[in-house]
Structure 1
Amino acid sequence: MPSAQAPRVRRSRAAAAPAALLACTLGLGACEYQYDDGFTPASSAPPTVTATDAALPQDPGRNRPVSGAELHRWLAEVLPETAGQVFQTRSGLLDAGETRHETTTQLPSGTYSLTLVCRSTRRVSFTVRDSESTLVDLSLRCGAPRVNVVQLAADTVLRLRVESRAPANYAYRVSRI
């Protein structure tokens, strides 16, 4: 006696795909994500505007070199008065591709703060040496002062080399800590 078998139902893949798509669409339609997009109804108070967006572009003229009274204002801003003993403060203007060499007065042995700062659309390189070795060698991104602490074992004259590929203002201060 032959056994009775249930008829096999074959589904084609072409018919299953639209059904799966419909199930996903209906299932996702029930999901909802709420967020505050900053929109306030007209009946409420107007929103306050704050300039804290990090994506706001910087003023391109902010790093262009200056001269005259603007240079003095910039120096007062980036190298404010200090309570310590200042041995030397200098500043200047470099043309594109120019290298400037400067020396400090004789510094007695001790610990010093060497503050370097520049204003340019490109980096400015600073090299500071004593009679024996290089104490500071850096390519500084302009905009914020860089403070380096150096220890001098004996009375020394520091030699500074400043160079830039673009026009630049530079300044430095040597003060005792």
Structure 2
Amino acid sequence: MPTVPASRVPRRRTPAAAVVLSVAVFLGTVLSGCAYEYSADHWDDESTSAAPPPSTDAALPQDPHLNEPVTGEELDDWVDAVLPDAAGQVFQTGFGTLEADEERKETTAQLPKGTYALTLACRSTRRVSFSIENGEDELVDLSLRCGTSRVNVVQLAADASLSIKVDANAPANFAYRVSRI
């Protein structure tokens, strides 16, 4: 049986391959000439005016227990840290511990007409919901990611008592402060 030689099909370059090749050559040429120059005083080791940048190590994960609820003196210390001294007149500060699926309702004393800062904070592995109402008017409806504090500014057109409702789906600490601006 005679053998038939295999025929070779010539390879064709596509326009897309040519474009990619030319872009790669262009970028290699342009980027090889780039250089960044520092100002003369940048590397002055004796200069005390330049503080070193803060150390950020992306390899170190956040402590998973950092947002777990605490009790006793640890709770008091946490409240002091997340509700720093207010510049205005403080009308009410509240804090406590919630169990999973628990809801807490509190009412402020009569507040005079004016502008108020409502500082809210929580400590939990899940979000905590805050709802603040003036009668039928909802002033704040917030699901707060714990580990942060939030300040809401509200204007009361007349004397009022605020209703504060806090609820959590997991064990949590909460804290709030009502202060006049």
* Match of residue 100, structure 2, among 91, 96, 101: 96
Residue 12 (1) aligns with residue 8 (2): yes
Aligned to 2:163: 159
Paired with 1:96 and 1:153, the residues of 2 have a C-alpha distance of 36
- Secondary structure of the equivalent of 1:77? helix
Q: CA RMSD in A?
A: 2.6
Paired with 1:102 and 1:133, the residues of 2 have a C-alpha distance of 16
Per the TM alignment, residue 51 of structure 1 is displaced from its structure 2 partner at its CA by 4.2
Count residues in correspondence: 142
Aligned to 2:173: 169
Counterpart AA for 2:147: G
Paired with 2:175 and 2:138, the residues of 1 have a C-alpha distance of 19
Query: Structure 1, unaligned stretches of length 5 or more?
Result: 1-10, 18-23, 35-49
Which 4+ runs in 1 deviate beyond 2 A? Answer: 53-56
TM-score scaled to structure 2, two decimals? 0.71
TM-score scaled to structure 1, two decimals? 0.72
Residue 130 (1) aligns with residue 134 (2): yes
Counterpart AA for 1:13: V
Residue 117 (1) aligns with residue 113 (2): no
Query: Structure 2, unaligned stretches of length 5 or more?
Result: 1-6, 13-20, 33-53
- Secondary structure of the equivalent of 1:138? strand
- Secondary structure of the equivalent of 1:63? coil
